[in-house]
């Protein structure tokens, strides 16, 4: 089971309801954000394991190539 939550002080608020009775002992594995490259590597490994291939041209034209707005300081 994988669930997400957010730490608030000494408590962890879960985003989803879980079907575990009160008083039941549980074990947590904590993952923090900011591990982009490791997560990307894991994602790619999952795709490879499933035999899924995304053609590079799928992402053509997705990103705006303009220089953006002028910033006046």
Q: Is residue 47 part of a domain?
A: yes
Q: Is residue 16 part of a domain?
A: no
Question: pTM of the full predicted structure?
Answer: 0.37
Number of domains in the chain: 1
Q: Which domain holds residue 46?
A: 33-58
Q: Is the pLDDT of residue 12 over 70?
A: yes
Q: Is residue 72 part of a domain?
A: no
Q: Give the count of beta carbons closer than 10 Å to the beta carbon of residue 26.
A: 7
Per-residue pLDDT, 9: 92
Cβ-count burial of 16 within 10 angstroms (0-12 exposed, 13-18 middle, 19+ buried)? exposed
Q: Could you report the per-residue pLDDT of 24-67, keeping only the tens digit for each?
A: 998 888 777 667 888 888 888 998 888 888 888 888 888 887 88
Per-residue pLDDT, 39: 82
Per-residue pLDDT, 33: 66
């Amino acid at each position: 089971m994988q669930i997400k939550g957010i730490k608030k002080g000494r408590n962890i608020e879960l985003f989803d309801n879980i079907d575990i009775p009160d008083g039941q002992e549980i074990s947590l594995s904590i993952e923090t954000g900011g591990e982009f490259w490791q997560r990307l590597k894991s994602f790619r490994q999952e795709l490879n394991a499933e035999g899924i291939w995304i053609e590079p041209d799928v992402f053509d034209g997705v990103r705006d190539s303009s220089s953006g707005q002028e910033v006046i300081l």
